[in-house]
Amino acid sequence: MCTQIDSGVVCESMTDQKRIVLKPIGYVRTKAVGDEVKDKGRTSQIVIDSEFSEAIEGIDGFSHIFVLFWLNQVFAQSKMLKVHPRGREDLPLLGVFATRTNLRPNPLGLTLVELLGVNGNVLVVRGLDAFDETPVLDLKPFDFWDMAENARVPEWWTKLNREKSGRS
Amino acid sequence: MCTQIDSGVVCESMTDQKRIVLKPIGYVRTKAVGDEVKDKGRTSQIVIDSEFSEAIEGIDGFSHIFVLFWLNQVFAQSKMLKVHPRGREDLPLLGVFATRTNLRPNPLGLTLVELLGVNGNVLVVRGLDAFDETPVLDLKPFDFWDMAENARVPEWWTKLNREKSGRS
């Protein structure tokens, strides 16, 4: 059961009676439209709501942050369970959790971005693949526990990545 | 405004009239209690709800995945905006978004784990710092766009990390 409060929603958790609150902590500002948002070289802004201004103090000690955002362009809970990566039928049909598709049961986006600067309550970032006005839910500083240098990725991923590098 | 549907909640987005759905896709199973969950060497399980079984097909092509989970041990939206990392007053007082504290406006956890195996709808992972029965919201395969080898981190982080390495 959920009820509306001033600027968010309070829900009974589905698993217990504790209460959780989901509310945007800010919004994305970008001039990029359509596929332009996928350009890793682009900069965009994250405008933090004034009530959370204090919560970004010290974030500029990190060069990179994870941005968690709400894929509010996805209209409803996706019922898709399998997809071809980037819609390409020459690549295997895979479970959505084996890909980074937007069509996910919970429309949560996660992107590692470079933090170029902080001006008051505005973060300037590079590489955020989110549209203008996307609600931001959380920011997490990137550290060396977040990477796996010797990670194994599947062949289809390597193929896609090689094509991308070839283009740029 | 939110309404309950069979196994989730449908909300009007706070920013527009599109609808979003939040529902657990599975749950954590672990015997670790208290601080034991922080032990990076521990294995735990993620039991995927049967309705999403198909959605993990192919995930075993990746050695590492990000787990997004609900910090359901955090009772309510935290009002904390600043914290000392790990509660240590010898370290600077920082905005919560400059740290990985659990006390966040939106109680969302994010951890990179090693995927050791998949047995039916159960993932066996190493390094997940989540308690037993934690609701899991999303899984995202780790790839090389998720890392920044030359990232800059602040001195307090390096200090904490050095201490941790010294102990193990």
Domain with B53 in it: what CATH number? 2.40.30.70
Q: Which of residues 28-87 of A touch B (CB under 8 A)?
A: 40, 52, 54-59, 61-66, 68, 70, 72, 74-77, 81-82
SS (H, E, C) A62-78: CCEEEEEEECCCCCCCC
A37 is a domain residue: yes
Which tens digit of pLDDT belongs to each residue from B100-148?
998 898 889 999 999 999 999 999 999 999 999 999 999 999 999 999 9
User: H or E stretch including A117?
Assistant: strand A108-119
Search chain A and give the residue with CA nearest B153.
A62
For chain A, the average pLDDT equals 87
Is B158 within a domain? no
DSSP A125: E
Cβ-Cβ contacts under 8 Å, A156 against chain B? 61
* Domain total of chain A: 1
Partners of A14 on chain B (C-beta within 8 Å) are 7-9, 23-24, 135
The answer to whether position B80 is within a domain reads no
Closest CB from B54, B81, B97 relative to A59: B97
Instruction: From chain B, pick out residues whose CB is under 8 angstroms from the CB of A64.
Output: 148, 151-152
Average pLDDT over residues A49-76: 91
**Residue B154 falls inside a structural domain:** no
Segment A145-163 shows an average pLDDT of 94
State which residues form the domain around B40.
25-72+107-143
- pLDDT range class, residue A23, cuts 50, 70, 90: confident
- pLDDT (0 to 100) of residue A17: 38
Q: What percent of chain A has pLDDT over 90?
A: 67
Domain annotation covers residue A12: no
Question: Do B135 and B45 meet the contact criterion of CB atoms below 8 Å apart?
Answer: no
Asked if residue B82 belongs to a domain, the reply is: no
Residues of A in contact with B146 (CB under 8 A): 112, 146-147
Q: Is residue A165 part of a domain?
A: no
Q: With respect to residue B99, please indicate whether it lies within any of the assigned structural domains.
A: no
Return the beta strands (E) in chain B as ranges. Answer: 2-5, 8-12, 19-22, 26-29, 43-48, 64-70, 82-83, 94-95, 108-119, 122-126, 135-141
The alpha carbons of chain B give a radius of gyration, in whole angstroms, of: 18
